[in-house]
């Protein structure tokens, strides 16, 4: 238990239903759905739609979606991959012929086919109780009538100013008389409300056909994109078999590749045999071992992770105890390893995560994204839709497992998580923050299960992250100068974090008391609410 004399949040407890998101308006929308008879899937979709409006730099209907879901508190976890594919006309050879060796962010070639809406439609149809049209109404209202900009959203908008200025349609909407929106300013996106209304009325066809589809294709094709109506027609989210490992008696479930959940499980396997080095995770020894484990695991991610429909993935080997033992043995407790081999993979950034549990203990772990803040920095003007830049997850290098190919999905960073034990769901959880997500799953779970922190404390703890593409290790402000200097003495290139590292939400189901216990990351604007 935290000291109540110090700043911080207490866990949120409730007996019936609970939602935790990175924006209070989306959390409230989810809880309202639960109170009106909807289930956890209904609430998650409603919350995600609201976040597509009120946190538009991080997520939207022009993006992608992943979901883990368990019904009635069981340990039968369902996984859905709603990540988009490259246009069928786009090849590495074509890009190289255009002189493009690395896909830029603000490029139509960075836009894979948005698949979030197809995911929402399938999940609503297969597991929801309410109509998708009803679930979209709160989001439609906020887009049509406006909402107040939050503190974190203001900061994200300001940090993306140059990208916003790079697209006339984007800057016309997301700048106010040429200036950035500030906290408390009311923001309205009426065109997005019309696009959401089209989906509410016509379902999948409201997005992938008709005027919304025409708006998206016109914008991309005008910029030189190769997207076609056939690409939109074939956008399809897929149910997949989740993967898992056991950590401290809990089964930890992740979506399989092309997402990086396998790396989160690798890290848990590695850290299962690492000493706690005391009763607090912020110590030189513990930080050093986590950094080194992360550097090695992310090296393997960069070598192997790709779309399994195109390249064989050695998942069993990556999750074996032998691999964990081998990696752990490579960690020198007294010195950072020499710089690891560099990779040609590009960097990844932003997402939103939603955790919901209902009165029947259906549990939903739901994550939706446009990748970097403001995605590709491309706005389809008539529909108000920001298009994601997941195509930057590819490399333009023939022969590489993650090389771009027609209809292929890129390496993906967003990973919902689920914990089960003794035949029951224990906790939907997730971490935002691009590259950090796999490392963040490990940090959250080890702080919860190894150090005995409550669900809020485990999210409040200072964070650090080894950059998978350099020797830099970013650390948040609360980590002391003394610890930083000691880590530098071990050979780590310690740098201040440029912004808060990640974000997270989680809901723990206490089956002994039949209570829900939730936390929400203070690095975001959101909260957990129950009833």
33 with 98, same domain: the answer is: yes
pLDDT of residue 350: 59
Helix, strand, coil: what percent of the chain each, to 5?
A: 35, 20, 40
208 with 338, same domain: the answer is: no
232 with 362, same domain: the answer is: yes
pLDDT of residue 5: 84
Do the domain assignments include residue 27?
Answer: yes
Please answer whether residues 50 and 139 qualify as being in contact, where contact means their C-beta atoms are separated by less than 8 angstroms: yes
pLDDT of residue 341: 44
366 with 343, same domain: the answer is: no
Distance of CA 126 to the CA centre of its chain: 23
100 with 249, same domain: the answer is: no
Do the domain assignments include residue 519?
Answer: no
CA distance 119 to 130: 16
229 with 251, same domain: the answer is: no
Q: Of 393, 420, 455, which residue constitutes the final position of a domain?
A: 393
CATH number assigned to the domain comprising residue 299: 1.10.246.130
453 with 437, same domain: the answer is: yes
Do the domain assignments include residue 122?
Answer: yes
92 with 232, same domain: the answer is: yes
Please answer whether residues 436 and 263 qualify as being in contact, where contact means their C-beta atoms are separated by less than 8 angstroms: no
341 with 376, same domain: the answer is: no
41 with 140, same domain: the answer is: yes
Do the domain assignments include residue 233?
Answer: yes
Task: Provide the number of structural domains found in the chain.
Answer: 2
Sheet strand arrangement including 472-475: 464-466, 472-475, 493-496
Q: Could you list the residue range(s) of the whole structural domain that residue 449 is in? A: 245-347+432-511
50 with 169, same domain: the answer is: yes
CA distance 51 to 43: 12
Do the domain assignments include residue 155?
Answer: yes
Do the domain assignments include residue 331?
Answer: yes
Average pLDDT by stretches of 10, the chain with 531 residues: 83 98 97 98 98 96 97 97 98 97 97 98 98 98 97 95 98 96 97 98 98 98 98 98 98 96 97 97 98 93 89 89 92 88 46 93 96 96 97 93 96 94 98 91 98 96 93 96 98 95 96 97 95 97
Do the domain assignments include residue 504?
Answer: yes
300 with 375, same domain: the answer is: no
Do the domain assignments include residue 99?
Answer: yes
pTM greater than the 0.75 cutoff: yes
């Amino acid at each position: 238990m935290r000291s109540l004399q110090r700043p911080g949040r207490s866990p949120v407890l409730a007996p019936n239903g609970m939602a935790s998101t990175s924006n209070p308006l989306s959390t409230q929308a989810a809880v309202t759905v639960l109170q009106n008879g909807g289930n956890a899937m209904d609430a998650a979709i409603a919350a995600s739609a609201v976040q597509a409006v009120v946190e538009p730099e991080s997520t939207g209907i022009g993006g992608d979606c992943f979901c883990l879901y368990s019904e009635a508190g069981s340990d039968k976890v369902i996984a859905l991959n709603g990540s988009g594919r490259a246009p069928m006309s786009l090849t590495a050879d074509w890009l190289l012929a255009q002189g493009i060796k690395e896909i830029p962010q603000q490029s139509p070639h960075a836009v894979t086919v948005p698949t979030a809406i197809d995911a929402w439609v399938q999940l609503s149809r297969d597991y929801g109780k309410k109509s998708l049209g009803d679930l979209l109404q709160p989001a439609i209202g906020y887009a049509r009538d406006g909402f107040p900009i939050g503190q974190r959203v203001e900061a994200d908008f300001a940090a993306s100013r140059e990208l916003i200025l790079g697209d006339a349609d984007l800057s016309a909407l997301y700048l106010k008389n040429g200036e950035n929106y500030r906290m408390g300013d009311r923001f309205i996106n009426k065109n997005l409300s019309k696009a959401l209304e089209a989906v509410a009325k016509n379902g999948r066809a409201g997005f992938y056909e008709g005027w919304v589809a025409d708006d998206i294709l016109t914008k991309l094709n005008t910029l030189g994109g190769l997207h076609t109506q056939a690409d939109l027609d074939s956008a399809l989210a897929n149910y997949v078999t989740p993967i898992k490992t056991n950590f401290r008696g809990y089964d930890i479930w992740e979506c399989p590749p092309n997402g990086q959940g396998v790396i989160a499980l690798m890290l848990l396997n590695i850290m299962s045999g690492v000493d706690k080095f005391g009763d607090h995770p912020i110590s030189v020894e513990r930080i050093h071992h986590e950094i080194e484990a992360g550097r090695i695991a992310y090296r393997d991610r960069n070598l192997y992770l790709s779309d399994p429909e195109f390249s064989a993935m050695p998942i069993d080997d990556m999750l074996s105890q032998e691999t964990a033992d081998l990696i752990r043995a490579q960690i020198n407790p007294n010195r950072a390893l020499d710089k690891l081999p560099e990779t040609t993979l590009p960097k990844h950034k932003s997402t939103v995560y939603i955790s919901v549990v209902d009165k029947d203990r259906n549990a939903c772990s739901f994550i939706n994204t446009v990748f970097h803040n403001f995605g590709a920095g491309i706005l389809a003007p008539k529909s108000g839709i920001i298009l994601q830049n997941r195509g930057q997850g590819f490399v333009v290098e023939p022969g590489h497992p993650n090389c771009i190919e027609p209809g292929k999905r890129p390496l993906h960073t967003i990973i919902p998580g689920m914990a089960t034990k003794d035949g029951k769901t224990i906790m939907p959880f997730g971490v935002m923050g691009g590259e950090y997500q796999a490392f963040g799953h490990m940090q959250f779970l080890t702080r919860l299960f190894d150090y005995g922190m409550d669900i809020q404390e485990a999210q409040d703890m200072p964070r650090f992250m080894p950059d998978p593409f350099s020797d830099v290790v970013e650390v948040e402000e609360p980590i002391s100068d003394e610890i930083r200097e000691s880590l530098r003495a071990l050979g780590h290139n310690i740098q201040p974090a440029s912004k808060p590292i990640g974000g997270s939400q989680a809901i723990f189901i206490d089956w002994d008391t039949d209570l829900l216990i939730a936390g929400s990351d203070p690095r975001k604007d959101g909260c957990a609410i129950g009833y």
